[in-house]
Structure 1
Amino acid sequence: MASVDVKKCNDNTKSGEKSKANAKSGEKSKSNAKSGGKKEVKKETGLGLSNRKDENFGEWYSEVVVSGEMIEYYDISGCYILRPWTMTIWEIMQAFFDAEIKKMKIKNCYFPLFVSPGVLQREKDHIEGFAPEVAWVTKSGESDLEVPIAIRPTSETVMYPYYSKWIRGHRDLPLKLNQWCNVVRWEFSHPTPFIRSREFLWQEGHTAFATQSEADEEVLEILELYRRIYEEYLAIPVVKGKKSELEKFAGGLYTTSVEAFIPNTGRGIQGATSHCLGQNFAKMFEINFENVKGEKAMVWQNSWAYSTRTIGVMVMVHGDDKGLVLPPKVASVQVIVIPVPYKDADMQAIFDACSATVNTLNEAGFRVEADLRDNYSPGWKYSHWEMKGVPLRIEIGPKDLANSQVRAVRRDNSAKVDIPMVNLVKQVKDMLTNIQQSLFDAAKLKRDACIDVVKTWDEFIEALGQKKMILAPWCDEEEVEKDVKARTKGEMGAAKTLCSPFDQPELPEGTICFASGKPAKKWTYWGRSY
């Protein structure tokens, strides 16, 4: 059995991890679940969250991802079991993204998990950013390995030696590969389910082109797919933009990203990134080709990825004091059907109506289940499925049976409506479409209310103290960004650039940088971030 050694970390327990994370936004405290404290559960069901989203966001988040049956804690710190409720969401996003990149002639592959030290060190600027988080296999059984083997934190150095082998001439280009895999980054600060874990799932695309223009075009195509994942599937508004030189991917030419914002914590979060790597990796790994003129040239490369972090952002943005709130497009179960028994009611007829409703909606293409368990009350079931975030609940009782109707209850706003059975499919479709759009609109309204446009340092500091996402004119100088970080460093974390949006507001002539007083070159979003 191989063993893993992580420098500076011998922690295989949850002890230090939890106390730190609870202060920010992370790990679930077991003692909280046992102690009761401010626990507010529904007396009739025994269900409910101990923490409120607005009062203790970190504990609320940790509680809701477990109570909503998304994850389970594992006995290795920073690692989590992804339960079926989570994996369905991941698979739905995967199906969308995989189909779209196949239209772009990108093909799937798989490279090994392990990296030799020699290869890892070939691109020093790149790996420097990952070095503290690299886990190493040092033993096999009781024997020390002659040469330790790294576990991939990302796959540039794994894949590119073989790109060098496979690419010889211009007819071998473009080479466009993607892999769906796991990576390991041994996080030391505040492991948080989905947001910062030591192992996570992602896709990573690695492409090579003959020209920079081809690479530039693909960077933006992929970024648009990431926007669609967030806005069309997860119902989360994002900003598309370019990272600063200080925040770009180490070793790359430039980085683009989609940036989300968590109003409850006042923190930005990098949603997904699409990088143009330029020719730096081509130089390091000797990825050369003979161009159409018969001359030796270096390829232009991109890499791009999104991960299970997307799911954590969804929970943070949409969840409420009842638990998860899932957008219909990604919900494992879009509609839950619950029988409502009454004294002397014909329960078999009610159960049959529930089953018929499920069949009708499933045949129409919806993801629908019935909860026919007879050892739980309807009230308990309502709370249970609300906790799990199911977008729409259908109740069927004796009156509904008599009137050939069902009662539908929305998870997002608790609105109730009676639907005639003859209109069931159309009205359920309309309601789910409306829920999806309403979640996005509500999230955008909250996000936009947290954006402050500032022009001076004093305004910047005031907005930062109010947990805002700040849009400010900037001179685009690395030293100025470093200075802003240094001047805002504190318990809550320093402010930094999130991205410079592609959609730039007008920058009047003579506008000065909020932080340096030098001429401003662009508008840039700033804030604290995860």
Structure 2
Amino acid sequence: MAKAIPSRSENYSEWYNELIKKADLAENSAVRGCMVIKPYGFSIWEKMQRALDDMFKETGHSNAYFPLFIPKSYLSKEASHVEGFAKECAVVTHYRLKNAEDGSGVVVDPEARLEEELIVRPTSETVIWSTYKNWIQSYRDLPLLINQWCNVVRWEMRTRIFLRTAEFLWQEGHTAHATAEEAMDETKQMLEVYARFAEEWMAMPVIRGAKTPNERFAGADETLCIEAMMQDGKALQAGTSHFLGQNFAKAFDVRFLTKDNQLDYVWGTSWGVSTRLMGALIMAHSDDDGLVLPPKLAPIQVVIVPIFRNDEQLAQLTDKIKPLMQDLRKAGISVKYDNSDANKPGWKFAEYELRGVPVRLAMGLRDLENNTVEIARRDLKTKETVSFDGLVDHIKNLLDDIQKSIYARALEFRSQNTFKVDTYREFKEQIEKGGFLLAHWDGTSETEEAIKEETKATIRCIPLQGEEEEGTCIYSGKPSKKRVVFARAY
């Protein structure tokens, strides 16, 4: 049989790590805190990339690329920005190595020290806004809508594959606008793009919200986010979109001539999602038998396993299956035909279940005689025997149903694990059990920090949707106008 993994109920963290390993998604690198994304895992990321990139381009954005290295002085120009990232920066100080005089290997050449240290990109606001100064002179140059796909480095001490690594892949959008209203509209629009991607592609329901001042991106006036619930009841921030105000424009003197012939600073946004979405995909849907992938992101949507005893039987089955594969591919469905004789069908069934392939077809000689095929769906682990006639349409409908079913199951799980709490005692009892807690907060940083210190729960967001509701803060007893979402988080 295929490789077993621990159960979620016994050890959720070990289940996650082992699933990534056994499903061949990624592995730890020889470089501490970094990961190697393996072909199967990277093919999922590529599907995410393609879908998101199409959505960015539909909203008028273009891709560009900016340097990996950022002069240290750039980070000093925006005070809150450098404070937010200072502890995570990797710094390049020299540009040359030389052989050690004792023959022990290579050493840093002390004569090759850089005049100014370079920071390995933790995020690109500074280097991009220094470039925008040259690109923007007039209102006619706005809006400037740029995205880049790249890697970033944030020196994490405690790492976990996909969720928190020293180097990771992401996209970062950086836009410039003539007015605050336009920039805020952009911030909201891109949050909605992320939310649509999470729900329609990842089949993962999210809460759209605003971060508290304590949790905002360093250098932003406002941070919007989407928050998802994992199967252990913890929250995961799945995407952020930031209204930067004129902070970076002022730091890098990016001004433009308005229609009224006045010089003004431009208004900015930035927004990003990363390979952390891979971790979210795994933890939101998978089970004790392996990955459960929504069809839209599955590298293999349909696997066909012939059941045969000899080459003659395999040839007969292949003659029947080949036209089906062609028709499936014409319909835009990715399909794999596993006709290898290295492993038995039972092993193959378990292996493709582990890898989260949404639909499995099995066909033997009896099926050939009856013009039927056995279909198994990964999400519900059910099987049915159907006619070969009209099979492509049946599979298309089945994939659509699986996509919706996975989303509905995740939404139901979130609903069952979201609780309104009105007292701090109730809050402390429930937070130990996990889930999203909707509670009143007085809006002060002091209360937020006190709750975090005492319970390890943070305010994940102030929901953008939902009614105003007068109440009293669970901690201080002071007035509150709206419930916020608390949770322990990744």
TM-score interval, normalised by the smaller of the two chains: over 0.9
Partner of 1:177: 146
Q: Is the 8 A contact 1:276 1:302 kept in 2?
A: yes
Superposed CA RMSD: 1.4
Name the counterpart of 1:254. 222
Task: Find the counterpart in structure 1 of residue 381 from structure 2.
Answer: 414
1:487 aligns with 2:454: yes
- Whether contact under 8 Å (2:231, 2:283) holds in the other structure is no
In the TM superposition, residue 158 of structure 1 has moved relative to its aligned partner by: 1.2
Q: Please state how far the C-alpha of 1:177 moved relative to its aligned partner.
A: 0.7
The answer on 1:338 being equivalent to 2:305 is yes
The alpha carbon displacement at 1:486 in A equals: 2.2
For residue 361 of structure 2, the aligned residue among 394, 399, 403 is 394
Mapping of residues 271-310 of structure 1, within 5 Å = 271-310=238-277
Aligned to 1:28: none
Q: Does 2:28 match 1:73?
A: yes
Assess if the C-alpha contact under 8 Å between 1:334 and 1:390 holds in 2. yes
Between stretches 468-477 and 350-359, larger displacement belongs to 350-359
**Partner residue of 1:383 out of 339, 350, 355:** 350
C-alpha contact (below 8 Å) 1:476/1:522 kept by paired residues: no
Given that 1:341 and 1:398 are in contact with CA atoms closer than 8 Å, whether structure 2 keeps it comes out as yes
Q: Matched residue of 1:158: which SS?
A: helix
The amino acid of 1:482's aligned partner reads E
Structure 1 stretches (4+) deviating beyond 3 angstroms? 342-345
Tell me the CA shift for residue 100 of structure 1: 2.0
CA distance in 1, matches of 2:312, 2:346: 18
Structure 2 residue aligned with 1:229: 197
* SS class of match (1:102): helix
Match of 1:507 in 2: 469
Q: Distance in 2 between matches of 1:143 and 1:119?
A: 26
Partner of residue 488, structure 2: 528
Gaps of 5+ in 2: 98-107
Match of 2:323 in 1: 356
Change in 2 beyond 3 A, CA 1:463/1:260: same
Question: 1:143 aligns to what?
Answer: 109
2:439–2:484 Cα contact (<8 Å) kept: yes
State how far apart, in whole Å, the 2-side matches of 1:260 and 1:174 are: 31
Q: Deviations over 1:96-133 (max 9, x none)?
A: 22222222221110001011111122112112111111
Q: Distance in 2 between matches of 1:455 and 1:92?
A: 43
CA contact (8 A) 1:476 1:521 kept: no
Distance 1:375 1:162 in 2: 56
Name which of 38, 50, 61 aligns with 1:83: 38
The answer to whether the 8 A contact 2:244-2:269 is kept is: yes
Contact 1:53 1:321 in 2 (8 A): yes
Instruction: Give the alignment of 1:21-100 within 5 angstroms.
Output: 45=1, 47-100=2-55
1:345, distance to aligned residue in structure 2 (A): 7.3
SS at match of 1:434: helix
Q: In the alignment, is residue 116 of structure 1 matched against residue 53 of structure 2?
A: no
1:121–1:361: structure 2 CA closer, same or farther, 3 Å change rule?
Answer: same
Pair 1:458 & 2:420 matched: no
Report the identity percentage: 40
Secondary structure of 1:466's aligned partner: coil
Q: Is the 8 A contact 1:176 1:207 kept in 2?
A: yes
What is residue 210 of structure 1 aligned with on the other side?
A: 178
* Residue pair 2:372, 2:388 contacting (<8 A) in 1 also: yes
Q: Answer whether contact 2:27 2:161 (CA < 8 A) is retained.
A: no
- Secondary structure of the corresponding residue to residue 204 of structure 2: coil
Letter in 2 for 1:528: R
Cα separation, 1, equivalents of 2:188 and 2:69: 30
Tell me if the contact between 2:361 and 2:376 (Cα under 8 Å) persists in the aligned partners: yes
Contact 1:318/1:443 (<8 A) preserved? yes
Partner Cα distance (1:486, 1:57) in 2: 24
Superposed CA deviations along residues 193-235 of structure 1, whole A, max 9, x for unmatched, are 1100111111100001010111111111111110111111111
State the alpha-carbon separation in 2 of the partners of residues 218 and 343 from structure 1. 61
Q: TM-score, normalised by structure 1?
A: 0.88
For the Cα contact (< 8 Å) 2:468–2:482, is it kept in 1? no
Q: Within the alignment, does 1:470 sit opposite 2:437 as a pair?
A: yes
